[in-house]
Amino acid sequence: MRKLHKIAIAVALATSLAACNSPQSTPNAAALPAGISLVADQSQTTGLAIPHKKYKLANGLTVIVHEDSSDPLVHVDVTYHVGSAREEAGKSGFAHFFEHMMFQGSENVDDEEHFKIITEAGGNMNGTTNSDRTNYFQTVPVNQLEKVLWLESDRMGFLLDAVTEKKFEVQRETVKNERGQRVDNQPYGRLYERVSQALYPDLHPYSWPVIGWMDDLNRANVNDVKAFFLRWYGPNNATLTIGGAVKADDVLPLVQQYFGSIPVGPEVTPAPKELLMLSEDRYISMEDNVHLPLLYVTYPTVYAWHQDEAALDILSEILGGGNNSLLYKNLVKNQTAVQAQVSHRCMELSCSFTLLALPHPASGKNLADIEKVIRDSLLEFEQRGVTDDDLNKVKAKMEAANIFGLQSVQGKVSQLAYSETFFGQPDQVADDIARYNAVTKADVLRVYNQYIKGKHAVLMSVVPKGQTAMIARADNFKPVAHDFGGPSTTKAEDLQARRAVDNFDRNVQPKASVNPAVELPATWRTDLSNGIAILGAQTTETPTTSLLLKIPSGQYYETPDKVGISSMVASLMNESTKNYSTEQMSLALEKLGSSISFGAEAEYLTVFVSSLTKNLPATLALLEEKLLNPAFNAQDFNRVQQQTLQGLQNSEKNAGFLAQQAYRKLMYGNHIMGYNGQGTLATVSKLTAADLQAYYQQNFKPAGSQLIVVSDITQAAVQPLLSKTLQQWQGQAPALKVATPTAVAKAGTIYLVDKPDAPQSEIRIGKRSITEDITGEFYRAGLMNFVLGGNFNSRINLNLREEKGYTYGAFSGFGADKVAGVYTAQAAVRADATAASLQEFLKEIDRYQQQGITDDELNFMRQAINQADALEYETPNAKLGFMAQILEHKLSPDFVKERNQIVASISKEEINALAKKHLNSKDMSIVVVGDAKKLRPELQALGFAVEDYQL
């Protein structure tokens, strides 16, 4: 489930886009398959538009085709203009629930086959639901297109007979697990649904959560969701968008064949849009299992694409959009708050302007104090006004973000589908650019006065349990309680089914042609005299440059008494330098539309740089400043240290974090590998700015570093720029010296971590295992695990999720680096199914270890992995990851061919031998995080030794 956020279409400077609105071609119906009409031809647009053609089928289905031959793949998106806002009061959650049902098989596609077919085709897929739309999407090698159209059309036109009572019940449990994992068992997880109840009028379609109220789903029966499908899932309420290495002339006959016979659904009219206003400030609060209190202030504003949306977006950036914002200055920089931000979230029918902050415990401030600072900041904005930089940096950030958004076919298809669904115009580049570039200082002040100043808001206080004295003000709002009656009485005979009639056999799965040839990225290689190895590639799809610098340092270079220091160093290098304050550096990058981000991993400190190529020299000058002149000043250090400590304490409220912490400690003991890379409360609190400075001086050296470059310009153009920036950086850091520790966990023992009243339990089952390699046993063991726990249709996931309804997802796999590795099976499961889930995990692992892989599973694994190459190298970031492997492991790019040969030739006997070697569950240990009081007797009844484990 994913909430809707406004997607700004590709943005460029207005002066460069005069050619975007090319005249439409005259529709030529004679050249099209019967039943399809051309609505618009924007295939010859120039600039940063998304070329496309738009068609309409006789049954109302809108079809958009985007031709892009840069990679041998295709992305297919089917968006239905229905989300939770189309639901009836008392029947919430149906849109999201039906997203689940759409993956359960249709009349001509067997149960659980949709994911399997796409995985076997070498593709990936998913579906999402938000308030206003539901979409289903697949990216596959282009030879698999017909198969995708067959699958999507079958569930659009032939679903209902396959929706059984059993599937309905299992998916109802799966949705409950999803809510447990993403909402009820997450800190602040119920915040947004509480705010929505107060922000919108009673029974407004945005007043209930997208995932729904569980009471509503519990009342529903299978016929209710079938009725929902019949009402909203007609072709006339859908947009089919196809983008990739295709031609419209080839695609349209297939579209007509598979979708043309599907009957039109009921008429769908636009939902009403109205500007909302509150009559008073509504104060609400709740206690939660959180570390820090939070104040969430929300004003109703406009709706998506309203004439004032762009100005409100810019206002949100000024107030809380970065290190130069007012809330950052007034709350975060002075450590009154750990975090503060502002956003303007737009949906089809309504937008909301939100300011939030989490007070720092050391500040002594409660949420009433934070409210006053926020209100004072608004008054300060009135006095401060709007600057040229406010406008220019937002427009530069938009230009860069949206150009980078054009790097994948999926990104372009998603934008076309979004704009067509909500505005009837697939490509809104020129209009979107124009509305932001047209925003003036006066516009920003006007929307502030119109929607924020003196207006009423919802003010939500979330406080730790037992600390109600910290709320901003006593609650003065309570949602209306409704009684929607008992179980539904909707009957099958109440449904008015529609059925397509075809002149071909839909039961026959289309066969794919030969896999398209996939060209590996052409690379160039060089070394700088200071020891930096550079691997580069040119890609001309967008005028951008991306860099990844990997410096040999990181957690494995630390000692347990100072664990977290490399992460802190990276955080401080994202702050001020000797010549720029944090605010000045942020502004300089924002005005370029560039980003420079430092991070820390186990074996490397990393630097990621993204820039429009036209701004690369200026961006590299700022990179040089950051690399060579970090300030490590006391103010920055103290703030980052406190933010890190508060983040660690907040993470301890998360069951998944606790499980990983316990599991890591049991696998590696009191060794650097046994710690979270962020450090511990004890180690981080003892660090000093001098410690970080010393670590930087000793470890932050270029020799042995790896730089990966993906740019639209040639090696001859980019290499001198890199040399100029990096050549004066000198030195070599100490070599890595880390011994592999032994595990401290006892096999056959359950380590129980208490999380009182947890609605779900986190399970980890595993043992120490082999280290990482690229073409050796580690890679082969991953192939072995693929059908056990390495994909959606794996044995483990189908059992625990699709058959039992115990979890939202269960998986297993090998995780390793060059130093150490583990094998882990894991899931978040319903609390009342903890013991049963553990039994099923072990049953599947033991059965696979003893009986091995089947012939069908072996073929499935081979097809799924060897056909996925087309998706591996599409975007610059994907190329960065691929090329990073080459440098780190000193590989030839041909290693891909070697791995493909391994997949094609690995035998059933080798797979089974690997399973016998690595999957003996008697060698494994178990971590369970949940309500220990309830779980302990259930787990002991399984026959395991159960030990309480304290982190």
pLDDT tens, residue by residue, 716-769: 999 999 999 999 999 999 999 888 888 999 999 999 999 999 999 999 999 999
Quick: pLDDT tens for 407-422. 889 999 999 999 999 9
DSSP track, 690-733 = HHHHHHHHHH---TT-EEEEEESS-HHHHHHHHHHHHTT----P
- Single-letter residue type at 207: S
CA gap 405, 11 in Å, rounded: 10
The 3-state DSSP class for residue 464 equals strand
Fold agreement between 28-271 and 749-948:
yes
| Mean pLDDT of the 612-634 span | 97
Domain 282-470 indexed as CATH 3.30.830.10: yes
Tell me: the pLDDT tens digits for 33-46?
A: 999 999 999 998 87
Residue 59: pLDDT above 80?
Answer: yes
- Find the mean pLDDT for residues 892-910: 92
Provide mean pLDDT across the span 534-550.
Answer: 94
User: What's the pLDDT score for residue 332?
Assistant: 97
Indicate the pLDDT class of residue 516, thresholds 50, 70 and 90: confident
- Residue 142 in contact with residue 870, Cβ under 8 Å? yes
Looking at residue 486, what is its pLDDT?
92
Report the alpha-carbon distance of residue 460 to residue 283 in Å, rounded.
6
| pLDDT class of 30 with cuts at 50, 70, 90 | low
CA 167 – CA 112 distance, rounded (Å): 11
Rounding to the nearest 10 degrees, give the CA dihedral for residues 751, 755, 756, 761. -80
Which of the four pLDDT bands, split at 50, 70 and 90, describes residue 523?
very high
Q: Is the pLDDT of residue 24 over 50?
A: no
pTM as predicted: 0.92
Least confident of 340-354, 674-688, 856-870: 856-870
pLDDT digits (tens, 9 = 90+) for 241-275: 999 999 999 999 999 999 999 999 999 999 999 99
**Stretch among 174-183, 293-302, 515-524, 687-696 having the lowest mean pLDDT:** 515-524
pLDDT at 191: 97
Q: Which fold has domain 523-726?
A: Cytochrome Bc1 Complex; Chain A, domain 1 (3.30.830)
- Residue 350, pLDDT score: 97
pLDDT at 7: 27
Q: What is the mean pLDDT of residues 886-910?
A: 92
Burial of 885 (0-12, 13-18, 19+ CB in 10 A): middle
In the chain, what percentage of residues exceed pLDDT 90?
A: 85
| Least trusted range by pLDDT, from 17-31, 779-793, 931-945 | 17-31
| CB 85, CB 246: distance < 8 Å | no
Residue 8 pLDDT exceeds 70:
no
Rounded Cα gap, residues 333 and 339, in angstroms:
10
Which tokens belong to 148? 């995708």
Summarize pLDDT for 94-129 with one digit per residue, the tens. Answer: 999 989 999 999 999 998 899 999 999 999 999 999
Across-strand partners of 419?
Answer: none
Task: Report the percentage of the chain scoring pLDDT > 70.
Answer: 97
Mean pLDDT of 402-406: 81
Contacts of 31 (CB under 8 A, 6+ apart): 249
Three-state DSSP state, 598: strand
What pLDDT score does 48 carry? 76
pLDDT score for 3: 32
Distance from the first to the final alpha carbon of the chain: 32
pLDDT confidence band for 461 (50 / 70 / 90): very high
**What's the mean pLDDT when you consider all of the chain?**
93
Whether domain 749-948 has CATH 3.40.1550.10: the reply is no
Euclidean distance between CA atoms 331 and 340, whole angstroms: 7
Average pLDDT, stretch 520-530? Answer: 92
Give the pLDDT of residue 894: 83
Q: Which token pair is 717? A: 């153009």
Joined tokens for residue 824: 């882990």
pLDDT recorded at residue 5 = 32
pLDDT 10s digits, 166-193: 999 999 999 999 999 999 989 999 999 9
Instruction: Please give the residue that has the higher pLDDT: either 632 or 399.
Output: 632
Helix (H/G/I), strand (E/B), else coil: 873? coil
Which amino acid is present at 568? M
- Listed range (64-68, 367-371, 513-517, 895-899) with the worst mean pLDDT: 513-517
Q: Phi, psi at residue 569, to the nearest 5°?
A: -60, -45
Q: Is the pLDDT of residue 222 over 70?
A: yes
Closest to 493 (Cα-Cα) out of 266, 263, 223? 223
pLDDT tier at 23 (50, 70, 90 boundaries)? very low
- What are the domain boundaries of the chain? 28-271, 282-470, 523-726, 749-948
12 confidence band (pLDDT: 50, 70, 90)? very low
28-271 CATH: 3.30.830.10
